[in-house]
Amino acid sequence: MIRTEGLAKTFTLHLRGGMQLPVFSGIDLTVHSGECVVLSGPSGAGKSTLMRSLYGNYRAGAGHIWIRHHGGMVDIAASEPRIVLAVRRETLVYVSQFLRVVPRVSTLDIVADEPITRGIAPDEARDMAGSLLLRLNIPRRMHGIPPATFSGGEQQRVNVARGFIAAHPILLLDEPTASLDAENRSVVVGMIQEAKARGTAVVAICHDADVRAAIADRLYPLSPAREAA
């Protein structure tokens, strides 16, 4: 579902006199359908940067990112914006650590947005969103409220709901359980396992050893790049 070839990323900081910040290079990562690969390594090793590159959020410095989209392979690293957007709309979901939304839109509408864009009737989409939020222990009385005032853990669960409602074939999860209590952690773990059983390919970052043991089929280790000379 995902295959990277010689993927490399270096940041150039123009405001710091063009300082070069190499993050990783020569990344060859393959993820199959129904498989969960957990990116491992210390902070600063480039796990989130790799994940953002897979999503096309960061530009690849070199190499290819092949993503299976509608039966064909699309290179995210070399595609036009509208192709990348189509891949995100139908194939690729990224659940980031932070919730970023239009202010003053209700939690239910935020989660229902993806199915509505996909053409599902608004009422049906809101029903789907409502049950998913309930499963993640966001009580119904909170569904009509924008998530801005929610706690960190609640916002993270809204973010998870928004990612999982899509049921896309590839899931990228950046610390999906970081600020969750044990009960909600196990709900999310259950959802990840169900997604895998459906054949979803999962790439995850998670520091929690129990969660990792429950979801990972394999680890992909990353180590911090050496400073450029």
Partner 1 sequence: MTAVPNGHDGLITARGLYLSFGAIPALVDVDIDLWPGEVLAVVGESGSGKTTLLNVLSGRVAPDAGAVLYTDPEGEQHDVHTMPAPALRTLHRSDWGFVHQDPKQNLRMNVSAGGNVGERLMARGARHYGTIRAEAIDWLTQVEIDADRVDDLPRTFSGGMLQRLQIARTLVTHPRLVFMDEPTGGLDVSVQARLLDLIRTLVARLGIAAVLVTHDIAVARLLAHRIAVMQRGRVVETGLTDQVLDDPQHAYTQLLVSSVLQV
Q: Applying CB under 8 A, which of residues 42, 43, 72, 82 lies at the interface with partner 1?
A: 82
CB of residue 33 to partner 1, shortest distance in Å: 26
Binding residue count for partner 1, defined by CB under 8 A: 20
Mark 56-72 as b/e (b = at least 16 C-beta within 10 Å). bbbebbebbbbbbbeee
Report the distance separating Cα 217 and Cα 36, nearest Å: 5
Which is closer to partner 1, CB of 104 or CB of 141?
Answer: 104
Q: Applying CB under 8 A, which of residues 56, 63, 169, 176 lies at the interface with partner 1?
A: 56
Give yes or no for residue 117 binding partner 1 (CB under 8 A): yes
Which is closer to partner 1, CB of 11 or CB of 73?
Answer: 11
- Residue 133 CA from chain centroid, whole number: 18
Compute the Cα dihedral for 90, 193, 191, 155 and give only its sign: negative
Give the DSSP letter of residue 70: T
Give yes or no for residue 141 binding partner 1 (CB under 8 A): no
Give yes or no for residue 103 binding partner 1 (CB under 8 A): yes
Give the angle subtended at the CA of 165 by the CAs of 138 and 68, to the nearest 5°: 150
Give yes or no for residue 119 binding partner 1 (CB under 8 A): no
Which stretches of the chain bind partner 1, using CB under 8 A?
Answer: 11-15, 52, 56-59, 80-82, 84-85, 102-105, 117
